[in-house]
Amino acid sequence: MARSLGVSLAEAYPQVAAMWLQERNGGLTPAKATPKMQVAVWWRCSAGHEWEENISNRTALPKWKGGDVAACRECVGYKASYSYPDCGHTAMVTPEAAAKKRGRCWKCHQEWWQANEKRLKKELSTAAKAAAGRAGKLLDAVPVPADVPAPLVTEWRWWASKHLQGAIAAEEQMGKEGRTGEVLAHVTEMAAHLLPTKEEAGRAAANGGVLRLLDQAHWAEGWLHRLTGRSAQSVDKETLQNMAWLLGEVLADWSQRAAEAVAADRAKGHEPPATAEVTRVLTRVALSFKDELVRDTPLAPFARAYRELRLPVVPDGKGRYGRADVMVWVPGGPNFVIEIDSAPNPASAEKLVFARDAGAFPLWVRFGKGSIETIDGVMVLDIRDAVRDACKAGA
């Protein structure tokens, strides 16, 4: 029989029409309804399961029905009826969702969360901080391969601890039983695979060069050579000086334009730029250094500049990897690691020394106040006077 909109549900799908729950569907009957009507009505299967669903959905034949157009979701195990104990609503959900035994349906949970969000976040944050000791003891028992470099273990432990603290707080504050065990299993699995395979490192190097390896923490303590056979390229002092001179020219050009801009702003009654603003602007200038390096060369489309890229080194007193302010990668050449500081920063010195030892160009841009430390193999660009003059322009 042709199943068109002109044929009734009773004629086209008698097995579906047999499940029609007439006492809950008012005056609409299977004889009046058509198979593709976008109307929600009530149904009841032979096992007594009742639910509301569009007629068009009941006459469709998705895979879960197994060829039986009249199949009941609950009877075939595709969905289960679940009553939420806290809000009292009942819904058809997957067996996996029902097994989680949530207290509220999604709509009620959203409303409850919006009403309690501020208080809960504060309580969760407090509980997470208080769980630091317990999370640390759990991580102490996790086996970590002996050949994993220490900086990577520190980085793993940092984020693993955060996840565990959050899981413990969720159990205590929101009753999410089993959350800590679930997270512990996850971080334990991650610990077992901290050391990447040679194939993984090789693909990373091919797709993004040394920076890609570094961003995945595969560059730590000689991994680049051990995993890919590629040793870091040495940087001689003369070449480093030439690169520093080139960046110095870019910064000098910026300082002149900055002085003009500051003077114009002062004429309009604006205050001079704060240190944080100067740092943000200098970071943008350092990122543009990439364009100066590859200008009018075939490498221009392939060079990359990054900000806040993690280095596999943990500065003294820190609990996680340090991050380089700016990193520039040019195919076939060493990387540029650029730190920008307004005052002496021991952590920057440690990151730049690591970059030096790995064969990168370490450049330290210093402005603001404080002495400048001399580090062998690290080029310092002292722009304190230039920045001071630019900030005072128009005064």
Q: What is the pLDDT of residues 86-96, one digit of tens each?
A: 999 988 888 88
- The reported pLDDT for the residue numbered 359 is 78
144 and 116 share one domain: yes
Residues 357, 225 contacting (CB under 8 angstroms): no
Q: Are residues 153 and 266 in the same domain?
A: no
Q: Identify the pLDDT of residue 394.
A: 80
Four-residue CA torsion sign, 16, 18, 20, 21: negative
In a domain, 348, yes or no: yes
Closest CA to 312 of 346, 350, 359: 350
Which pair of structure tokens corresponds to residue 340?
């920008």
> What is the count of structural domains for the chain?
4
Specify whether 251 is located in the same domain as 299: yes
Domain co-membership, 170 together with 31:
no
What whole-number distance in Å separates Cα of residue 358 and Cα of residue 362? Answer: 10
* pLDDT > 90 in the chain, percent: 52
Q: Is residue 94 part of a domain?
A: no
Q: Do 203 and 182 share a structural domain? A: no
Q: Are residues 49 and 177 in the same domain?
A: no
Residues 148 and 202 in one domain: no
User: Can you give the length of the chain in residues?
Assistant: 395
Structural domain includes residue 95: no
When pLDDT is cut at 50, 70 and 90, the band that residue 220 belongs to is: very low
Residues 61 and 111 in one domain: no
Note whether 181 and 224 are same-domain residues: no
And the tokens for 95?
């067996």
Q: How far apart are CA 173 and CA 101, in angstroms?
A: 17
Q: Is the pLDDT of residue 176 over 60?
A: yes
Q: In this model, does residue 221 exceed pLDDT 50?
A: no
Q: Is the pLDDT of residue 4 over 50?
A: no
241 vs 317: which has the higher pLDDT = 241
In a domain, 89, yes or no: no
Range of the domain at 47: 9-78
Lowest mean pLDDT among 27-31, 149-153, 174-178, 232-236: 232-236
Q: Is the pLDDT of residue 128 over 70?
A: yes
Q: Is residue 388 part of a domain?
A: yes
- Model confidence at 288, in pLDDT bands (50, 70, 90)? very high
Q: How confident is the model at residue 318 (pLDDT cuts 50, 70, 90)?
A: confident
State whether 303 and 364 are in the same domain. Answer: yes
Residues 278 and 224 in one domain: no
Q: CA 381, CA 393: separation in Å to the nearest integer?
A: 21
- Rounded CA gap, 43 and 50, in Å? 6
Place of tokens 């010195």: 349
Residue 338, in any domain of the structure = yes
pTM over 0.85: no
The contacts of residue 368 (CB under 8 Å, 6+ apart) are 275, 278, 341, 342, 343, 384, 387
> Is 1 a member of any domain?
no
What average pLDDT does range 375-387 have in this prediction? 93
Question: If you average pLDDT over every residue of the chain, what do you get?
Answer: 86
Report yes or no on 74 lying in a domain.
yes
Taking alpha carbons only, the member of 21, 57, 17, 54 closest to residue 39 is 54
CATH code of the domain containing 382:
3.40.1350
What's the CA gap between 351 and 387, in Å, rounded? 24
* Residue finishing a domain among 206, 228, 250: 228
DSSP 20: B
Chain-centroid distance, C-alpha 381? 33
Q: Are residues 63 and 158 in the same domain?
A: no
